[in-house]
């Protein structure tokens, strides 16, 4: 007997969604063109020299009607080996936040640009104009493109900022330690959901991960249940409660902590323990840098 699935199990591809196609045979790239099977050479702006043998090409079309080609090539170069002997002053702990996007164990704070919040009024105006348009009309199609372009500008600005920040962190350190964040669960907080989504913690950690792999460096994710904010980084005494409104606090040992910097230092300590447990050598700390604010151009 034939078994039928409910309609809820089927996922239909949206007409106006992102479209993509993958090609791994009969593909080639020139100075200003790409070639895929059953098509004549397609004019393209190749912004980077392709080194090695082209293995595949993925074509994609964005919601705004722009076409991109992602090219995979084998350059025959071996991936750099990961560093085995690390220096503690070249290991940095990073605490993710909302007011400040990234707080390091050296005391540097990178402010959160809040790209979505800055574009909120413009997005609201365009989305209201879209909702007033009749479905299926040319006016609605134009209004939809304006909304898509506004969202695209926000995404591009956030990606650009995160690429620069992640590269700076990887270039300056041999290992970067971060928390394991369950962003999907955190988005259930109605008051902070929009701010958390705007921060883009997951995409920043993803960029850190592949950049570290390319450079032969380490990205370490510590346990999500580790109480980095409630633990004193000097005496390791854990406080019973630490609500979000408390931004600085004093431990019974006399140490006065900035909540976020203290959390980053605890994250670094846990990361070093994890690196040593994996059999890596971490030398003694050569001292901390002076605290300040790290400025990254968006």
**Could you report the per-residue pLDDT of 108-163, keeping only the tens digit for each?**
999 999 999 999 999 999 999 999 999 989 999 999 999 999 999 999 999 999 99
Residue 146 lies in a domain: no
Cα gap 210→223, rounded to integer Å: 20
Is the overall model pTM greater than 0.75, yes or no? yes
| Residue 152: active-site member | no
Is residue 21 a part of any domain in this protein? yes
Residues 91 and 48 in one domain: no
Q: Which of 87, 152, 179, 236 is an active site residue?
A: 179
Q: Output 17 or 49, whichever has higher pLDDT.
A: 49
pLDDT(10) > 80: no
On whether the CB atoms of residues 27 and 57 are closer than 8 A, the answer is yes
- For residue 264, being part of any structural domain is answered with yes
Asked if pLDDT for residue 294 goes beyond 80, the answer is no
CA distance 156 to 177: 26
Question: Are 204 and 185 part of one and the same domain?
Answer: yes
Whether residues 216 and 263 fall in one domain:
yes
- Is pLDDT above 60 for 6? no
Same domain, 24 and 105: no
Higher per-residue confidence, 187 vs 290: 187
pLDDT-above-90 percentage for the chain? 66
Q: Which helix (H) or strand (E) holds 22?
A: strand 19-23
- Is residue 133 assigned to a domain? no
Q: Is the pLDDT of residue 282 over 70?
A: yes
* Residue 215 resides in a domain: yes
pLDDT at 3 over 50: no
Report the alpha-carbon distance of residue 76 to residue 242 in Å, rounded: 52
Domain-ending residue, one of 49, 74, 99: 74
Residues 6+ apart with CB under 8 A from 63: 16, 17, 18, 148, 151, 152
What pLDDT does residue 224 have?
Answer: 85
DSSP label of 256: E
The parent domain of residue 215 ranges over 85-111+172-286
Residue 196 tokens, joined = 């958390």
Q: Which is the catalytic residue, given 75, 260, 278, 285?
A: 260
Which structure tokens are listed for 245?
A: 């409104």
Is 144 domain-assigned? no
- Give domain status of residue 247, yes or no: yes
Contact predicate 210/168, CB 8 Å: no
The per-residue pLDDT for range 35-89, each reduced to its tens digit, is 999 999 999 999 888 989 999 999 999 889 899 999 999 988 888 888 988 999 9
Domain count, the chain: 2
Percent of the chain with pLDDT over 70: 90
pLDDT digits (tens, 9 = 90+) for 215-244: 999 999 998 888 999 999 999 999 988 888
The answer to whether 95 is a known catalytic residue is yes
Does residue 201 contact residue 192 with C-beta atoms inside 8 Å? no
Where residue 90 falls among pLDDT bands split at 50, 70, 90?
very high
Nearest to 68 by CA among 41, 34, 30: 34
pLDDT at position 199: 93
Q: Is 179 a catalytic residue?
A: yes
Give the chain's mean pLDDT: 88
Determine the angle formed by the axes of helices 120-132 and 138-172, rounding to 10 degrees: 160
176 plus 57 within the same structural domain: no
* pLDDT band for position 284 (cuts 50, 70, 90): confident
Residues 48 and 99 in one domain: no
Among 49, 78, 84, 95, the one annotated catalytic: 95
Q: Does 92 reside within a domain?
A: yes
The answer to whether residues 101 and 216 belong to one domain is yes
């Amino acid at each position: 007997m034939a078994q039928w699935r409910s309609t809820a199990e089927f996922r239909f591809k949206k007409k106006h969604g992102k479209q993509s196609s993958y090609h791994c045979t009969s593909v080639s790239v020139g100075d200003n063109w790409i070639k895929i099977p059953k098509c004549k050479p397609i004019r393209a702006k190749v912004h980077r020299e392709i080194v090695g043998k082209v293995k595949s090409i993925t074509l994609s079309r964005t919601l705004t009607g722009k076409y991109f080609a992602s090219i995979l090539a084998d350059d025959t170069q071996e991936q750099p080996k990961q560093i085995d002997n690390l220096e503690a002053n070249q290991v940095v702990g990073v605490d993710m936040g909302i007011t400040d996007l990234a707080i390091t164990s050296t005391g540097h704070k990178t402010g959160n640009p809040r790209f979505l919040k800055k574009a909120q009024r413009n997005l609201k105006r365009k989305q209201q104009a879209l909702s007033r348009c009749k479905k299926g009309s040319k006016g609605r199609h134009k209004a939809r493109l304006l909304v898509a372009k506004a969202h695209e500008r926000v995404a591009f600005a956030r990606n650009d900022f995160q690429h620069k920040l992640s590269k700076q962190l990887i270039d300056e350190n041999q290992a970067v330690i971060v928390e394991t964040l369950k962003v999907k669960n955190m988005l259930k907080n109605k008051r902070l959901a929009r701010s958390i989504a705007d921060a883009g913690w997951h995409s920043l950690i993803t960029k850190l991960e592949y950049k570290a792999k390319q450079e032969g460096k380490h990205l370490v994710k510590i346990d999500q249940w580790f109480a980095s904010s409630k633990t004193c980084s000097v005496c390791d005494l854990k406080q019973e409660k630490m609500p979000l409104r408390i931004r600085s606090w004093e431990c019974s040992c006399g140490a006065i902590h900035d909540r976020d910097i203290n959390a980053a230092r605890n994250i670094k300590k846990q990361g070093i323990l994890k690196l040593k447990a994996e059999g890596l050598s971490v030398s003694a700390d050569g001292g901390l840098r002076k605290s300040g604010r790290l400025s990254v151009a968006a």
